[in-house]
């Protein structure tokens, strides 16, 4: 019985996860409001007018700038009102729809990121573009959703003997009720979640951004390295594209429609469950049983 337990958008690259309870998806589109903005390095290659997709290190992000995790941000993706809090205390309110609000944001993060006194991060926004790490690879990947199987995260926790906040992986969709790692067998095929049809594109190789604890903003677990040590590669999660419009809700059932033959690439996980598409029975009754903290 597989179901969606959490949905998140990350409106500004590197900043807080924002839970949503449901979302409308369009064929060929991404997760609405996800990574719609980024803060680009002031001495870097980002150009507002001559934009080309850039490697992630051209932006401020958790792989390098773990301090970003220490602030709780919330952007209303409709009004563009941004609120930044420290332990619940508001430290910035700005409207990112206005030049003045954007300047406030840049000044604020220049301070947090300890930029030289004359430098400000560049507010990056490009119509039709989102700043996910995979956006540089292809338009198809840019407009995909990222998925995490929570059972795989729990298996990882058991192997390394310490808790791993699933938000380290900053996925859009979190699934539960699957076998650990079974997604590695079927991610390349089609599956449905709620009323939406997906096709898996690619597995997610993890980078040093996952080393940062999203609550303490400290780099504390060498996750990519531990993944390699325990499983032989640095994969956790996958990307999938939307084949047909629909809505996703927390609690929606996930059904793997066509299971490809058991992948050769599979190195981990239990026995294959070919032909036994996961089903959700009373999943909705459990849907409120959120297994990891999401709000500070």
> Secondary structure of the chain: what % helix, strand, coil (to 5)?
20, 30, 50
If DSSP codes are grouped into helix, strand and coil, which group holds residue 288?
coil
Q: How many other C-beta atoms lie within 10 A of the C-beta of residue 156? A: 21
Between 22 and 57, name the residue whose CB sits nearer to other proteins. Answer: 57
Those residues with Cβ within 8 angstroms of residue 138's Cβ, 6 or more apart along the chain or in another chain: none
CA distances in angstroms from 218 to 39, 69, 157, 212, listed in the order given:
20, 8, 18, 5
Instruction: Provide the minimum distance between the beta carbon of 167 and other proteins in the complex, in angstroms, as a whole number.
Output: 17
Binding site for other proteins (CB under 8 A): 57, 63-64, 67, 70-71, 84, 86-87, 89, 91-92, 108, 111-112, 114, 117, 205-208, 211, 216-225, 227-229, 234
Instruction: Provide the minimum distance between the beta carbon of 87 and other proteins in the complex, in angstroms, as a whole number.
Output: 6
Instruction: Provide the minimum distance between the beta carbon of 8 and other proteins in the complex, in angstroms, as a whole number.
Output: 21
Between 223 and 287, name the residue whose CB sits nearer to other proteins. Answer: 223
List the Cα angle 42/37/27 in 5-degree steps. 145
Between 138 and 195, name the residue whose CB sits nearer to other proteins. Answer: 138
Separation of alpha carbons 173 and 215, rounded Å: 20
In this structure, what DSSP letter does residue 277 have? Answer: -
Instruction: Provide the minimum distance between the beta carbon of 71 and other proteins in the complex, in angstroms, as a whole number.
Output: 5
Instruction: Provide the minimum distance between the beta carbon of 48 and other proteins in the complex, in angstroms, as a whole number.
Output: 24
Between 38 and 92, name the residue whose CB sits nearer to other proteins. Answer: 92
Between 22 and 296, name the residue whose CB sits nearer to other proteins. Answer: 296
């Amino acid at each position: 019985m597989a179901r969606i337990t959490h949905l998140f958008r990350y409106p500004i690259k590197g900043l807080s996860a924002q839970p949503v309870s449901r979302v409308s998806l369009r064929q060929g589109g991404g997760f609405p409001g996800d990574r719609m903005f980024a803060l680009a390095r002031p001495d870097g290659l980002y150009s507002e007018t001559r934009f080309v997709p850039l490697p992630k290190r051209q932006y401020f992000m958790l792989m390098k700038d773990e301090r970003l995790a220490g602030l709780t941000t919330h952007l209303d993706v409709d009004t563009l009102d941004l609120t930044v809090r420290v332990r619940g205390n508001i430290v910035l309110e700005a409207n990112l729809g206005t030049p003045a609000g954007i300047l406030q944001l840049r000044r604020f993060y220049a301070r947090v990121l300890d930029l030289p006194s004359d430098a400000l991060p560049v507010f990056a926004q490009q119509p039709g573009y989102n700043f996910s790490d995979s956006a540089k690879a292809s338009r198809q990947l840019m407009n995909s959703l990222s998925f995490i199987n929570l059972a795989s995260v729990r298996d990882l926790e058991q192997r390394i003997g310490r808790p791993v906040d699933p938000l380290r992986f900053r996925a859009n969709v979190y699934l539960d009720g699957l076998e650990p790692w079974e997604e590695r067998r079927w991610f390349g095929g089609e599956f449905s979640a709620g009323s939406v049809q997906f096709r898996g594109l690619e597995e997610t190789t993890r980078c040093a951004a996952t080393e940062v604890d999203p609550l303490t903003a400290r780099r504390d677990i060498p996750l990519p390295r531990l993944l390699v040590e325990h499983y032989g590669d640095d994969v956790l999660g996958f990307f999938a594209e939307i084949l047909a419009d629909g809505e996703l809700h927390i609690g929606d059932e996930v059904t793997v429609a066509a299971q490809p033959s058991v992948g050769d690439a599979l190195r981990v996980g239990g026995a294959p469950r070919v032909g036994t598409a996961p089903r959700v029975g009373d999943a909705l009754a459990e849907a409120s049983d959120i297994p990891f903290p999401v709000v500070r």
